[in-house]
Structure 1
Amino acid sequence: MRHPTPHPRLLLRPLTSAHTYRRWAYLVIGGALLTPYAVAALVLATLITDHTTAPPIPTHILALLTALAAVAATAYLPGTRHAQTLLARALLQGPLTNTPHPTPTWRTTTRTSAWLCLHLTLGMAACLLTMTALTEAALLAATPLTPTTATIAQGPLTLTGHHPLTPTQRLLGPLLGLALLTALIYTLALTGHLLARTAPHLLGPSPTDLLAAAHARAHTLAERNRIARELHDSLGHALSVVTLQAATAARLLDTDPHFARQALTHIADQARTATADLDHALGVLREDTTTPRTPPPDLTHLPHLAQATHHTGTPLTCHITGDPARVPALLSRETYRITQEALTNALRHAPTAPPALHLDITPGALTLTLTNPLTPAHRTRRPHPRGGHGITGMQERARLLGGTLTARPHHDTWHLTLHLTWKEHP
């Protein structure tokens, strides 16, 4: 089986990608951070190994172990993990950029220690490699201009040998320098790529943090959807009522001025109600507002809603049995919104048809029923199997409350039924 040949652009991408040079800078920063640790550890290791009678541990090994121990201990300083995470996100980028911040625990601190040791060790190696390779590449590039061998590499790394340069070596020197520089860039690009892939495991969140972030995001989305439903139901109803009342007032302004004045008064009332609902929704969104300034309406406001609907010119019949004050606050508010959206749909689709609203409240349960005659256009229209956005929103509200809501045509009448239950406290 033949494997596809890599595209030349993919092979050249490490040379032109900004990621390569940002990660190179990140490695150099790690080497610079390790320098004071290494110098201090080397001095300490020299003092120890010079005054011991036992077979000494090589000084550079002891210095390296001492420096790494000090680097690992740095992770326990406040703010170290946060600073390392910000630096890695800015320069390494990669998968770490899209992960949430982890919760500080001893496990995350241990992983930070491992990351610091890895970052600073690779950074020091990258610094040494960079200094050596850049100097060697510059000397190779200058071979056509130098009469003798000029190199800082020793042993097998001496690319031009130790003898006087031949004409061929003088011509090949710049090419060898370019090849060495290219190899350096590819090596550091690969090191930076592997470091970026490792970062989420050591600096990123744990599975517990990811689960908590997912729960927080789900809660945020649920809250946004709830506010969207609030605005849809309250403002949608207010605008529908205002539209009908304004049209009625304009039509009866000359023939029935008294009714027109009443309609304009109710338009003002609906505008104030809509403003209060908007103020409540914005109060939930504001981070500096602990509680909404205007309490949302509930079932105790149902007579006012019925009266506002009646003043649009739509004869609404409203019957309430039981005490709305006995309904739990959350269920009362959500039932009011469902009723508001149901009346909005009735006014929008059949403004002249007389709807009938029945609310039956018993200990531990309520049943809301809204019926209105279908217009001839709606009788012949084939209903959508899933309804519109308003019905979907009402069903979502009912489902979140543990209840049921059905909305469907039956003969020449549209029926909407909501049933909710709750546990009565003794």
Structure 2
Amino acid sequence: MNLIKALFRPLARAETYTRWLHLIVSGVFASICLFVFPGTSAAGPLSWAGFLVLPVPILLALSLIPAVRSAEGVQARLLLIPGRSSATSREGGSGSGAGRRGSSDERRAAGPAVPGISVAPARGWAERGHTALWLLVRVLAGTAVLVATVWLPGLSVWLVTGPGGWWALLTPLPVVALAALVVGVGAAAAQAARWLLAPSSEERLAALEERTERLLEHNRLARELHDSIGHALTVAVVQAGAARAAGSAQFTERALAAIEDTGRRALEDLERVLRLLRQDDPGSANVPRRPALTDVERLVESARAAGAPVDAEVTGPLDRVPGPLSREGYRIVQEALTNALRHAGPVPVVLRVAARDAVLELDIRNPLPAADAARTGGSGGGSGLRGIRERAALLGGEAHAGPADGRWRVRVRLPLDRLP
């Protein structure tokens, strides 16, 4: 029983019939070449030889066209291995066709890849040679399947209507042979596609680089979302606690307004990050602008609204600080103020932001209770401080955080390549 199930299981798979179609189309191409060639319409050795030989020069000429490899890769994905492209990564099939680092638009146009099958155009003679060999294999295998598809069912009909008698008992055999041929040749064609249409080392490297860049971008977005939502929640908690302790309707109204404003900005950040994750295109015009150091005043006002007196001093042309430095600098200030509110409460905070001498300096200080200083021990643990150090390191700068003279101090220095 299990043997019968194993024999008939391939017949229940959709890929068996899509592979059959893929092979029959190849055989039809060979038939067209035979019929249009003069003098080969009659049956005989010349006709059968032409059936196999005539397509060869055409296939060799087609293999020289780079786009043919892309077309063959797409067909192999859709017909030889259907239903698997959406469940796989972009390994090997998202090459740009223009070197190791193709544009993101070209890579996205290539679509998701099936492991081992590329859709990039041929970029060298080796890939053109593999394409030519694949075309020959495809047409020869397709010709065999097409002939069997036409001849074997006819043989079954002949066994019933022709000799009669016990020959009718052999009627199922040609159909079974056709099914076995389709399954076997289809599987062999799929494997041949993986060998001959395999992505080059450059394509694999480009796909790996793209995947690494995407993971890094997602990690950055996750850290940014943590900073924004964490800041909003910290301000909301501090404001709510202060309003309850104050017992003043006027103070409560101001606290609620501050919570509303901070929450609205956090929702804007959340929406922006979600849009980026949905469309996977950081450069889209539909994504709201990321906050930068020019928006640091909103952080100061938010901290002041939470009850923390902030002595802020901003010097230098912040509007001329390069975009990546300005955006990451904003997040560093945000995380430092959030830590001050979370761990020390609404205490006086000193904030210094200065862009001078090709260096961006960020200095945030707040009183540190003795118990907290003893507990932290100056180790600077925690994901927030680790994120500050990671941001500074990625930008080629340095960050120091820890107790200093009875205060908690976060000091960051980021090099400015140049001020435009």
TM over 0.5: yes
The answer to whether 1:104 aligns with 2:97 is no
| Native 8 Å contact 2:306 2:346 kept in 1 | no
| Native 8 Å contact 1:367 1:420 kept in 2 | yes
Residue matched to 1:168 = none
Deviation at 1:340, TM superposition (A): 0.3
Check 1:238–1:28 CA distance in 2 against 1; reply closer, same or farther (3 A cut): closer
**Residue 362 of structure 2, aligned match among 368, 371, 375:** 368
Structure 2 CA distance, aligned partners of 1:40 and 1:424? 65
| Native 8 Å contact 2:360 2:415 kept in 1 | yes
What residue ranges of structure 1 are gaps of 5+ in the alignment?
1-7, 50-56, 151-172
**Residue 31 of structure 1, aligned match among 7, 24, 38:** 24
Residue matched to 2:207 = 213
**Residue 262 of structure 1, aligned match among 250, 254, 263:** 254
How does 1:9-28 map onto structure 2 within 5 Å?
Answer: 13=6, 15-17=8-10, 22-23=15-16, 25-27=18-20
Which 10-residue stretch deviates more, 130-139 or 414-423?
A: 130-139
Structure 1 CA distance, aligned partners of 2:220 and 2:267? 18
| Native 8 Å contact 2:321 2:419 kept in 1 | no
Residue matched to 2:240 = 246
Q: Secondary structure at the match of 2:360?
A: strand
Q: Secondary structure at the match of 2:79?
A: helix
| Native 8 Å contact 1:284 1:291 kept in 2 | no
Structure 1 CA distance, aligned partners of 2:340 and 2:164? 94
Structure 2 CA distance, aligned partners of 1:32 and 1:279? 48
Name the amino acid aligned to 2:329.
Answer: T
How does 1:374-413 map onto structure 2 within 5 Å?
Answer: 374-375=368-369, 378-379=372-373, 381=375, 387-409=381-403, 413=407
Q: Deviations over 1:326-380 (max 9, x none)?
A: 5334312211111101111221222144443333443111332333344566456
Which 10-residue stretch deviates more, 356-365 or 69-78?
A: 69-78
Residue matched to 1:166 = none
| Native 8 Å contact 2:308 2:345 kept in 1 | yes
Which 10-residue stretch deviates more, 123-132 or 230-239?
A: 123-132
The answer to whether 1:41 aligns with 2:34 is yes
**Residue 92 of structure 1, aligned match among 70, 80, 88:** 80
| Native 8 Å contact 2:15 2:79 kept in 1 | yes
Q: Secondary structure at the match of 2:37?
A: helix
Q: TM-score, normalised to structure 1's length?
A: 0.70
Deviation at 1:204, TM superposition (A): 4.5
The answer to whether 1:60 aligns with 2:55 is no
Structure 2 CA distance, aligned partners of 1:280 and 1:81? 39
| Native 8 Å contact 1:27 1:120 kept in 2 | no
Name the amino acid aligned to 2:262.
Answer: Q
Structure 1 CA distance, aligned partners of 2:396 and 2:345? 31
Residue matched to 1:336 = 330
Residue matched to 2:101 = none
Q: Deviations over 1:147-203 (max 9, x none)?
A: 4657xxxxxxxxxxxxxxxxxxxxxx66x966x877765555443333222213434
Check 1:271–1:22 CA distance in 2 against 1; reply closer, same or farther (3 A cut): closer
Pick the structure with greater CA Rg: 1
Check 1:409–1:12 CA distance in 2 against 1; reply closer, same or farther (3 A cut): farther
Name the amino acid aligned to 2:241.
Answer: A
Structure 2 CA distance, aligned partners of 1:328 and 1:82? 40
Structure 2 CA distance, aligned partners of 1:265 and 1:42? 82
| Native 8 Å contact 2:239 2:307 kept in 1 | yes
| Native 8 Å contact 1:19 1:92 kept in 2 | no
The answer to whether 1:200 aligns with 2:194 is yes
| Native 8 Å contact 1:28 1:124 kept in 2 | no
Structure 2 CA distance, aligned partners of 1:197 and 1:386? 55
Equivalences, count: 384
What residue ranges of structure 2 are gaps of 5+ in the alignment?
94-109, 111-118
Residue matched to 1:122 = 141
Name the amino acid aligned to 1:234.
Answer: S
Check 1:26–1:384 CA distance in 2 against 1; reply closer, same or farther (3 A cut): farther
Structure 2 CA distance, aligned partners of 1:386 and 1:184? 72
Name the amino acid aligned to 1:270.
Answer: T
| Native 8 Å contact 1:30 1:121 kept in 2 | no
| Native 8 Å contact 1:371 1:414 kept in 2 | yes
Q: TM-score, normalised to structure 2's length?
A: 0.71
Residue matched to 1:4 = none
Name the amino acid aligned to 2:141.
Answer: L
Name the amino acid aligned to 1:37.
Answer: A
Which 10-residue stretch deviates more, 69-78 or 318-327?
A: 69-78
**Residue 274 of structure 1, aligned match among 243, 252, 266:** 266
Identical columns (%): 31
- RMSD over aligned Cα atoms: 4.4
Q: Secondary structure at the match of 1:318?
A: strand
The answer to whether 1:345 aligns with 2:362 is no
Check 1:220–1:384 CA distance in 2 against 1; reply closer, same or farther (3 A cut): farther
